[in-house]
Amino acid sequence: MSSSTQSVLFGVVAALAAVAGLVVAQLHFGSKTPSIESGTLLSKPRPIAEFQLVDSAGHPFGRSRLEGQWTLIFTGFTYCPDVCPNTLAVLKGVKARLDEAKVPLQVVFVSVDPERDTGERLGLYTHYFNPDFIGATGNRDNLDSLTRSLSLIYAKVPGTTPDSYTMDHSAALVLVNPQAEVAGYFLPPHRPEALVRDLENVVRRTPAR
Amino acid sequence: MIRPLARAAVLAGLAAMLASAGARADCRGLQVAEPWIRSAPPGAMALAAYAELRNTGPAPLTISGLAAADFERAELHRNLIDNGVARMRAVPRLTLAPGEALTLAPGGYHLMLLRPRRALAAGAASRIEFLCDDDRSAVTFVLRSPD
pLDDT tens figures, A124-151: 999 999 999 999 999 999 999 999 999 9
Q: What is the mean pLDDT of residues B15-41?
A: 71
CA distance linking residue B109 with residue B122, whole number of Å: 21
pLDDT band of residue A159 (cuts 50, 70, 90) is: confident
Lowest mean pLDDT: which of A16-25, A87-96, B32-41, B79-88? Answer: A16-25
Interface of A with B in 185-204 (CB under 8 A): 187-189
Lowest mean pLDDT: which of A37-51, B16-30, B94-108? Answer: B16-30
CA distance linking residue A56 with residue A133, whole number of Å: 10
Q: Which residues of chain A neighbour B113 with C-beta distances below 8 Å?
A: 81
| Residue A141 CB contacts under 8 Å (≥ 6 apart), including other chains | none
Residues of chain B above pLDDT 70, percent: 82
> Are A83 and B41 inside 8 Å of each other by CB?
no
Q: Closest-CA residue in chain B for A129?
A: B41
- Choosing among A77, A82, A83, which should be mutated to test the B contact, i.e. which has the most B CBs within 10 A? A82
CA distance linking residue A26 with residue A41, whole number of Å: 16
- Produce one character per residue of A99-117: b if its CB has 16 or more CB atoms within 10 Å, e if not: eeeebebbbbbbbbbbebb
User: Which residue, among B60, B75, B51, B66, has the nearest Cα to B29 in the 3D structure?
Assistant: B60
| Predicted local distance difference test score (pLDDT) of residue A206 | 84
> Are A164 and B114 inside 8 Å of each other by CB?
yes
pLDDT tens string A179-192: 999 999 999 999 99
Instruction: Look at residue B84 and tell me whether its pLDDT is greater than 80.
Output: yes
Mean pLDDT, chain A, whole residue set = 89
**Residue A153: is it exposed, middle or buried by C-beta count within 10 angstroms (0-12/13-18/19+)?**
middle
Q: Would you call the peptide bond into B116 cis, given omega within 30 degrees of 0 as the criterion?
A: no
The beta-strand segments (E) located in chain B are 30-38, 46-55, 61-67, 71-82, 85-90, 94-96, 101-104, 109-116, 125-132, 136-144
CA dihedral B93, B97, B100, B106 (to 10 degrees): -10
Instruction: Look at residue B17 and tell me whether its pLDDT is greater than 70.
Output: no
Mean pLDDT, chain B, whole residue set = 86
Interface of A with B in 82-101 (CB under 8 A): 82-83, 85-86, 89
| Predicted local distance difference test score (pLDDT) of residue A114 | 97
Q: Where are the alpha helices (DSSP H) in A33-108?
A: 83-100
Residues of chain A above pLDDT 90, percent: 78
- CA–CA min distance A139, chain B (Å): 21
CA distance linking residue A163 with residue A148, whole number of Å: 26
Determine contact: A151 vs chain B, CB below 8 A.
no
Q: Closest-CA residue in chain B for A128?
A: B41
- CA–CA min distance B118, chain A (Å): 17
ipTM of this complex prediction, to 2 decimal places: 0.78
Measured from the Cβ of residue A204, the count of other Cβ atoms closer than 10 Å reads 12
Instruction: Look at residue A39 and tell me whether its pLDDT is greater than 90.
Output: yes
Entry pTM: 0.82
pLDDT band of residue A208 (cuts 50, 70, 90) is: confident
**Residue A22: is it exposed, middle or buried by C-beta count within 10 angstroms (0-12/13-18/19+)?**
exposed
